[in-house]
Structure 1
């Protein structure tokens, strides 16, 4: 019987000695697992940011290449003057031509607006509202120094 009491006493002492260690292990295991998960997420986030950075640098290079091919403001103004003449001339003979010329004219107005920092809302409007916005943008561009109409006065008979 003394041996059984000795074994029980030894197990009780071992439990008293190791129980705080087991409790600390359980407490810190949760923290260690959270820390490990955080490091894995950080690594995954860093990889995702690296891929995003590579993608953006490639896109910025392609955007820079596109900007080099963007027409100059002088070319845009010449296109606007030419399209304005077509809009008031040949495009009045056909609805298809008129729609095509207006689309091209609005596109050049958007380019000129971007170049000169003039706000425009041509995409958002339709019908008469778009016509009014077109006239407003033309006025803003004229005020910014872009000549959309010929500057030579027409000769008038009195």
Structure 2
């Protein structure tokens, strides 16, 4: 009986001592797997990055904004899509998602306003002032003949 108690006590102490190691392995396992997977292609990626850096520092590459300005029709289509997304209740109730949609919507509103020569102040405002400016800009675009909401 004393031997059984001693074996149970030894097993319990061993489990107690090994528990932090087991938790650390479980917590860090994803990092170990990711390191192992990405270490295989690391040389090729490093070589490609060094080549790009060499080309850029030599002046052979330059960073320029894209030449393609979206047409007014493309902007209206994007505004309609973003308007549907911001008005519909998202399946994921996420404030970050709604903020990103509103930011993209405001950016497209500003682009459409600039293309028509209208003034807007969306970038300078926040909160309720931005909401009011958004409604004002939508009204200006509607008065200019753009239908931002599908029938």
Shorter chain as denominator, the TM-score bin is 0.5 to 0.7
Residues 1:135 and 2:131 aligned together: no
CA distance in structure 1 between the partners assigned to 2:95 and 2:118 by the alignment: 29
**Larger radius of gyration, structure 1 or 2?**
1
Residues 1:73 and 2:106 aligned together: no
CA distance in structure 1 between the partners assigned to 2:112 and 2:129 by the alignment: 20
Higher relative contact order (CA 8 A, sep 6+): 2
Q: What is the TM-score with the length of structure 1 in the denominator? A: 0.52
Alignment of 1:5-154 (within 5 A): 66=67, 69-89=68-88, 90=90, 93-150=93-150, 152=151
CA distance in structure 2 between the partners assigned to 1:143 and 1:87 by the alignment: 22
How far the C-alpha of 1:93 sits from its partner, in A, is 2.1
Q: What is the TM-score with the length of structure 2 in the denominator? A: 0.54
How far the C-alpha of 1:111 sits from its partner, in A, is 0.5
SS at 1:148 equivalent: coil
Aligned length: 87
How far the C-alpha of 1:140 sits from its partner, in A, is 0.1
> Could you say what the CA RMSD is over the residues aligned between the two structures, in angstroms?
1.8
How far the C-alpha of 1:91 sits from its partner, in A, is 7.9
How far the C-alpha of 1:81 sits from its partner, in A, is 0.3
